[in-house]
Structures are given as structure tokens and as C-alpha cells.
Structure 1
């Protein structure tokens, strides 16, 4: 099947998925979507040329490549089970969620029994890049499957790395998120310490910004901590905590000591336990929870 003849399905048109799906349909692919709780993204995509399916089974019947962009492994497993009755032999499911690699491998084995391929293609960056079509993507897939899905992924990703076999994309994504969420925990504690010892956040930022310790993640994090933009990095604390639990689980499976992983996970667990479980509580807001735990406003 050529790239031009692929019919794309998209499940999960949330903060990241809306922009990704927008790029798929605007760059010429037939696109079918399905609504969940929020209809606005689906209505926008339909206005751009997408078709809305009434059920996941109906979506599966009309698509050759189906992208999933969901919260985590339980949601992915549930979606695959609902898609399964409508899947045709030779179709591909591409999971762009940050998921548990053990679940990825199990789902891939189950789908292989009915002639359906599976790939994991998790993302990096923010909804801003999703809308612009400039996300990073790390893919776990067999070579032939990767070659088939790469043109569709390229509609919304500027950097695509084929990591290796099925499950390797999710493993790499967890490593990536361990680093980024580790930065968040470090920044939050450093900012609280800076204030405690009498160095204002603005002066702290003048030293770090533009120096060797600066990076893109630091800048979006400080978009809230310094400038007060609550939507500077729209990745929820609850998703961050979920991802760190997956990182810890992956480490446990290979008997790896994880003092740093556990410390980062516990930083997010503490925020979740003290009220950070709302849908608009984002990763940079961790700095508030660490500050309050240390007697700061």
C-alpha cells in the first residue's frame, strides 16, 4: 500500500492530538476522528475535512493506519480492544501515548495474531509544536512498518528517530521524560532554596538563562515560575506522576537501583497528594508545591 492510499484514523484529539490530527488532514491524508468528552477539537477537524466516526469499531473499519494519543497504558489497551472487531488484516495501530512498554509488547503480540501491525511512536515537545507540525518522535517498529508509517508521522513531526523494535520507542520516551521531569524537580527545589537564601527568582534566572545550564525545558518551566504564564508548558502533574511510575516499573523489571528516579517520582507524588491532581495543574506548577512545603508562598 502506498502512502498516498493510506486512510488515517486518530483516537485522542486532546492537547497534543488535536494539533497532530490537524496536520494529518491538512497535508492531504483522508482522516477519521472520534469524539470523547470534548467535542470542540473534533468539530474543528471536521471543518478542516475530517470525518467523524460514531464508534471505535466504525473508525477501525475505514482506516489502514490508526494513531492513538491517549493518557496511558490502561486507556490504550481499552481503545485497542474496542478497535479490534473492526480492524482489517494489514492495518497498523501506532501508539503515540507515553505507555508501559510491557503493555505495548502484549498488545503487539495479540494484534499480530489477527494480522495487524503495531508500532509505538511517542512524542516529545509541547502542544505548540504539535500544532506547528514540529514534534519529536521516537519509534519502535519493524523496519517495513516504520517505512510505511513514517510519511504519515512526518505530517506532524520534524524529528523522527527509529529507535528499534516494538516497545523501544516507549522505553526511550520514558528515559526522555525521566530527564525532563528530573529537571522540573531540580528547578523547583533550586528555586525554593534560592528564595530561602535571599536570591530573587529574577536574579537566579539572569545567571542561568543563556548559560551552560539553560535549555528549552528550562525556558518553558520559567515561563511560569518567573513570568506567571500558567500555560507555558501544558503537561499535567498527573501525567508526569504516571510517567515516573512507568519509569520506576521499567527499572524494576531489569533490577536497576533507582535513587534518582524514586526521588523525582516522589516529588510529583507529593504534589499530587497535596492537591496537584487537577487537569490544569501543569509540570511548572511543581515549583509552587515545593515552595509551600518549605513555608514559602
Structure 2
């Protein structure tokens, strides 16, 4: 079997390298960044001459791309070149409606698309414990379970195509809203004059703890804003979640406020920083830094 992997960024790169180490199949890779490609070929992958060449020779294709627009562009090229019987797992965070439409467009060509977004962050992508949630034909999922398990620690078949994207957007909505309120809480603590190290210790061992809070404590509160999950990408994900709420008539009371905070952060030029740079909006507004 030949497996194609497209998109070798912060998440796709380590997932691909774990795939190469975890299967006995040939893995062919494609990315616009030569350094990202090299990092995978050094582990044993083969570089494709083009996306069309990859799509035309692979039995299974995995994509890990930044936005729905990128997924649509790559899917168009895959549709033009892939052979009937190809299984296409999109690991990107996408809008459920886009995933379902692409599935319908690819099906007549004999290409089966499953949405397979991931969660857990870069560290878990590196150590192979990432969570992969899958929407689509269960038989196709089971047929390729071992491939997905090569770079993940938990696999969940959520339901029909698009359902995994719903789960992913809700998951990201929760963590991003947690970061937003954590930034607000820490600024309150700063303005009230209490010891922030003790406050962090209380929260991390108390009921206010969350993955989002721990991310803020580990990066933002130490002034380390190099992107693990960039604010621009986080903004895209939360925007998709807000759109999904609107589509289903769910009142948006929390997520839109966090989205507005992120929009302010991007307006301040922090879009390329880590999503915990939401804290910097409060620092600008209050004229005080919040640091441990």
C-alpha cells in the first residue's frame, strides 16, 4: 500500500513522521515548504514530484491543512488525479458543510472522503498520543484503523461524514473560551495585587483548572508567545464554531465574546503569536503585564 500525506506543518509534520515509523507501507509526502518535506524524508518518506503525482499513485491520502479554503483547493487536485477506490482522510479542522459537500463531489469519482480532525496539540502530535475523531463510512474507517493508530493514541468513529468536524469545533470552542476567561481572571488577580504564582497553583489544583488555563500558565504568563496554536488559526476555528451555532439556531452568548477578544488581538498584530496572546489584549487595555 502507498500512503500519501499532504500538509507537513506543526501538526501534520509530526503526525506524518510517526506514520512513517509506525507502518510498513511506503509514505509519500507533499508540502510547499522544502524543509518540512526534508524532515519527513529523513525519516524514510518519499517526496512526491507534485500533488497530482501523489494523488495518482496513492491508495490512501491524508491531508493536514490550515483552512477550509486550502482543503478545497487540494481536494480539487485530488479529484482530478486520484484513482477510484482511494480513501481520503482530511485531518484538518473544517466546516461540516464543506466536508459534506466535498464528500458528495468526490463520491462519483470513487473517492471516499472521511473527516478526521485531531485534538491534543503539538506535543501530543509529536509523541503519537493525539486524538483522531472520524466521520464517514465506518467500514472504511475500520479498514484503515491501523494507519490512523500509527500516529494517534485515541481513535473515535463519531458518525456520518461531517460529524467529526462538529465534535472538533465544539472541542476547540471550549478550550479557546477557557483561555479567554483565564486571561481575564489572571488580569483581575494582577490588578487586585495577589501573588499570581500562588493563584496559578490554586487553580491548577482546583476546580478552575483546564487545558486552556494550563496553556496560558505555561506560555502566556511566562511571556512566551511563540505559536503552538497560532491566534490566526484559533480565530478561524472559533469562527467556524460560531457559524455552526448560527446554522443550528443556538444562542451565542460565550463564544462570540471570545471571538471578539481574539479579533482585537489580531488587530494589535498578534495573529502569528500563540493563541494565549489573548492575554496581551488585557495587558494593553489595563496598561499592566501579567507575568509569573
Q: Name the TM tier (shorter chain).
A: over 0.9
Answer yes or no: is 1:7 the counterpart of 2:16. no
Other-structure match for 1:35: 31
Task: Specify the SS of the correspondent of 2:28.
Answer: strand
Residue of structure 1 aligned with 2:274, choices 253, 269, 282: 282
Answer yes or no: is 1:247 the counterpart of 2:244. no
1:201–1:226 CA contact under 8 A, matched in 2: no
Answer yes or no: is 1:161 the counterpart of 2:142. no
Give how far 1:108 is off.
0.2
2:79–2:111 CA contact under 8 A, matched in 1: no
Give how far 1:198 is off.
1.2
Give how far 1:221 is off.
2.1
| Alignment partners' CA distance in 2, 1:147 and 1:208 | 40
| Alignment partners' CA distance in 1, 2:133 and 2:41 | 28
1:139-154 matches, within 5 Å, as 139-154=134-149
Answer yes or no: is 1:178 the counterpart of 2:173. yes
Other-structure match for 1:138: 133
| Alignment partners' CA distance in 1, 2:49 and 2:128 | 27
The runs of 5 or more residues in structure 2 that have no matched partner are none
Answer yes or no: is 1:219 the counterpart of 2:214. yes
Give how far 1:282 is off.
0.4
Other-structure match for 2:228: 234
1:85-104 matches, within 5 Å, as 85-104=80-99
The TM-score with structure 2 as length reference comes to 0.95
Other-structure match for 1:258: 252
Answer yes or no: is 1:291 the counterpart of 2:283. yes
Other-structure match for 2:76: 81
| Alignment partners' CA distance in 2, 1:225 and 1:237 | 12
| Alignment partners' CA distance in 2, 1:229 and 1:269 | 20
Other-structure match for 1:206: 201
Give how far 1:217 is off.
3.4
Moved more, 72-81 or 253-262: 253-262
The runs of 5 or more residues in structure 1 that have no matched partner are 1-5
Residue of structure 2 aligned with 1:120, choices 104, 115, 140: 115
| Alignment partners' CA distance in 2, 1:35 and 1:137 | 21
| Alignment partners' CA distance in 1, 2:277 and 2:126 | 23
Deviation sequence 1:144-176 (CA, Å, 0-9, x none): 111122211101110111110000000100000
1:222–1:284 CA contact under 8 A, matched in 2: no
| Alignment partners' CA distance in 2, 1:48 and 1:11 | 16
The TM-score with structure 1 as length reference comes to 0.93
Task: Specify the SS of the correspondent of 1:226.
Answer: helix
The root-mean-square deviation of aligned C-alpha atoms, in Å, is 1.4
- Distance of aligned partners of 1:293 and 1:29 in 2 relative to their CA distance in 1, 3 Å threshold: farther
Task: Specify the SS of the correspondent of 1:88.
Answer: coil
2:55–2:61 CA contact under 8 A, matched in 1: yes
